[in-house]
Structure 1
Amino acid sequence: MATCLLLPIPSKPQNSNPNSPKHSHTKITCSSSLTAQSQSAKRHLLSLISDQDRGLKTQRDPPKRASIVEAIDALALLGGNDTVTTGASLSATWRMLWTTEKEQLFIVENARLFGTAAGDVLQVIDVENKTLNNVITFPPHGVFFVRSVIEIASPQRVNFRFTSAVLRGKNWEIPLPPFGQGWFETVYLDDEIRVVKDIRGDYLLPLWEQNVLFIRANATHGNQLSELIVLKLYCYKFFGTKAVFTEI
């Protein structure tokens, strides 16, 4: 995934006089300086959310929320409004680090009422195939899976529409109807994180999850073709691998 932080270079020279001083070195310096500022701003933002329990603590601490939003705005400003964040680099599996989305936080906080705890909260985006899947895991067997379709609306905005949802446990499932549509803007994107603002003014900060494989496979059960999803592949350096499967 590429970082989109370099300053644009004009296609034509601004001064055709060969004796005029050249500015290319200055441009490179500015670009390097901007990248350094962005990395510093990103580290500051990650530090602010590091103890926020994915946003649960932030809900009860308005000053902290304001500080985090201020850091997000500063990082977005460094990224630039003309930066394209809806290209191929958006296609990935992302793991939520922090959010202000009340629905997600409600599920994460109250999973204990069902005798479990929320695991990873994942967002799987495929720009080419125009799909976005939200996944909340409840190890070892549970999952809340929401499918949606997407449409690129601008260099930073993606429209989405929910198409189906299912809450599944070990031996049970509850299908849920589609329940809305909207848009989100990725205001910052690099090869590690995204920073997202949505139609309701909520924020989401996910990490590009290199160790998560989201694989679609087909398996025949009698005359029915089922879609199998590998939610997560846990890699243990010395103990082999362990996969968690759920059938959608």
Structure 2
Amino acid sequence: MATCLPFRVVPFKPSSSTRAAKITCSSVAAQSRLAKQDLLSLIADQDRGLKTQADPARRAAIIDAIDALADLGKGTVTTGTDLSATWRLLWTTEKEQLFIIQNASVFGTRAGDVLQVIDVGRKVLNNVITFPPDGVFFVRSTIQVASQQRVNFRFTSAVLRGKSWEFPLPPFGKGWFETVYLDDEIRVVKDIREDYLVVDRAPYAWTE
């Protein structure tokens, strides 16, 4: 695979060798766009992963699409400042998140946006599930960049919050995740438990 990043244009002086590199990079970018479109098409009607739980064939196809993007993203750096954002869940295999999304009605509410809020510079991550209009459950974590694509995390606290009340919960665990693909729109993740996550950049910044 070429060492250039998909969707990044690097100025260069034309020569026989750089023309070949340009073709290779363009090919990688085109393949990435097609693989990304394929993945987004596969997850579009999956209700953030709820429907996928009962459809092994679709799950396998989605993971194949993720693996294709991961292959194209090998060698790229996904743990820099571009990782800092409010990321909104599109699809996941994480059973805990899907359970809460599916059963929010038990508490007389519904699950809204499910978010990962990452700040690489401050070394923090919040996992957030919103319950409109006023409820939220979030887990605070510290993070440490471990490699070009891997980030280690440690949970530090959790909070269930309503409009006029807050219930703290103890921290529970640590692990790592790898961002195997990252661009200006989406991020694709595999974690220590071999769960998968596809998120897009939310059109807003979530804060506590």
Same fold (TM over 0.5): yes
Tell me the residue number matched to 1:205. Answer: 198
Tell me the residue number matched to 1:43. Answer: 37
Alignment of 1:167-182 (within 5 A): 167-182=160-175
Contact 2:117 2:127 in 1 (8 A): yes
Query: How far apart are 1:76 and its partner, in Å?
Result: 0.8
In 1, Cα distance between equivalents of 2:7 and 2:55: 36
In 2, Cα distance between equivalents of 1:117 and 1:4: 39
Tell me, yes or no, if structure 1 residue 5 matches structure 2 residue 6.
Answer: yes
Tell me, yes or no, if structure 1 residue 96 matches structure 2 residue 97.
Answer: no
Instruction: Point out the structure with the larger strand share.
Output: 1
In 1, Cα distance between equivalents of 2:5 and 2:106: 43
Q: Which has the higher contact order (CA 8 A, sep 6+)?
A: 2
Contact 1:4 1:189 in 2 (8 A): no
Tell me, yes or no, if structure 1 residue 122 matches structure 2 residue 111.
Answer: no
Query: How far apart are 1:174 and its partner, in Å?
Result: 2.0
Alignment of 1:48-197 (within 5 A): 48-80=42-74, 82-197=75-190
The structure having more radius of gyration, on CA atoms, is: 1
> What letter corresponds to residue 189 of structure 1 in structure 2?
L
Contact 2:85 2:205 in 1 (8 A): no
Contact 1:93 1:208 in 2 (8 A): yes
The alignment covers a number of residue pairs equal to 200
Contact 1:93 1:124 in 2 (8 A): yes
Fraction of identical pairs, as percent: 68
Instruction: Point out the structure with the larger helix share.
Output: 2
Taking structure 2 as the reference length, what is the TM-score of the superposition?
0.92
Tell me the residue number matched to 1:29. Answer: 23
Structure 2, unpaired ranges of 5+: none
Structure 1, unpaired ranges of 5+: 10-20, 216-228, 230-248
> What letter corresponds to residue 24 of structure 1 in structure 2?
T
Contact 1:44 1:71 in 2 (8 A): yes
Contact 1:94 1:206 in 2 (8 A): yes
Query: How far apart are 1:169 and its partner, in Å?
Result: 1.8
> What letter corresponds to residue 5 of structure 2 in structure 1?
C
Tell me the residue number matched to 1:18. Answer: none
Taking structure 1 as the reference length, what is the TM-score of the superposition?
0.78
Query: How far apart are 1:6 and its partner, in Å?
Result: 6.9
In 1, Cα distance between equivalents of 2:164 and 2:205: 24
In 2, Cα distance between equivalents of 1:90 and 1:6: 16
Contact 1:119 1:139 in 2 (8 A): yes
> What letter corresponds to residue 40 of structure 2 in structure 1?
L
> What letter corresponds to residue 19 of structure 2 in structure 1?
H
Q: Aligned Cα RMSD in Å? A: 1.6
Contact 2:50 2:102 in 1 (8 A): yes
